[in-house]
Amino acid sequence: MTAEPKFEWLLRCGDNALILSQRLSEWCGKGPILEEDMAATNVALDLLGQATLWLTYASEHKQDGRNADQLAFLRDAHAFRNALLVEQPNEDYGHTLVRQFYFDAWHYFFLEALLHSRDEKIVAIAEKSIKEVRYHLRRSSDLIIRLGDGSQESHQRIQRSVDALWMYTGELFTPDAIDLEMQQQGIAPDLLQLHAKWKQHIQQVCAEATLLVPSDQAWMQKGGKTGVHTEHLGYLLAEMQFLQRAYPGAQW
């Protein structure tokens, strides 16, 4: 196990928010309707703010001279610790919503559990973030219901995305040595316990949306938490990090 489990764990929290924020920002000015264009952008901004909090704490804990901006813009893909789910491409808007729905449900229950962390700074971040994520989950759940129980075409599109992205959800609840160490220290929750709450919410929403929930026995992808990513992350980082890579140290 890495000698810095807390630093690695904080990176996971920050990178999840950062990468999903970048993905959502790709819809800015391109949303299907004005209301959704603004809503997706606001969620992206919320996540960017949360990423700043997590990466700032990670830099304070590590104390190796890097600040939050440098952690975001000067690491290569293999040094990112986000779950594979959040780096998946947007494809169509239904795909974006299902990805958001899966993540929001996990994120809400994760932050809810962090309110009881022994680390006061983590509790403070969770208290601030959960107010935003509560809205994120309500919004994505509502849209899944509306589209799943909408037209035949919207139902089919959402069901395809539910099925296609399911294999990236298992990683969110699969603890490794770092997760277990943080749990033992009372800093992070038991991911296996979160899974039951997450699955219940997913099933309730999908039932109302007339969608079928894939089997728990389906094959699950993993690797993002340890730096093994899909090809999509490299392209995302090339765009996100361009300015800082091209003009090192540039400031507004």
Q: What is the pLDDT of residues 68-108, one digit of tens each?
A: 999 999 999 999 999 999 999 998 999 999 999 999 999 99
Among residues of the chain, what percentage have pLDDT more than 90?
A: 87
Cα–Cα distance list, 12 to 2, 3, 18, 121, 225 (Å)? 14, 16, 10, 16, 7
pLDDT score recorded for residue 17: 98
Residue 1 confidence (pLDDT) above 80: no
The 8-class DSSP code of residue 225 comes to G
Q: How far is CA 19 from the centre of its chain?
A: 7
CATH 1.20.1260.10 fits 5-246, yes or no: yes
In order of 61, 123, 149, 151, 239, the CA distances from 156 in angstroms are 46, 40, 10, 9, 32
Report how far residue 193's alpha carbon sits from residue 140's, in angstroms, rounded to the nearest whole number. 23
> Model-level pTM greater than 0.85?
yes
Q: What residue ranges do the domains of the chain occupy?
A: 5-246
Q: How many other CB atoms sit within 10 Å of the CB of residue 88?
A: 22
Average pLDDT of the residues in 228-233: 97
pLDDT tens sequence across 186-215:
999 999 999 999 999 999 999 999 999 999
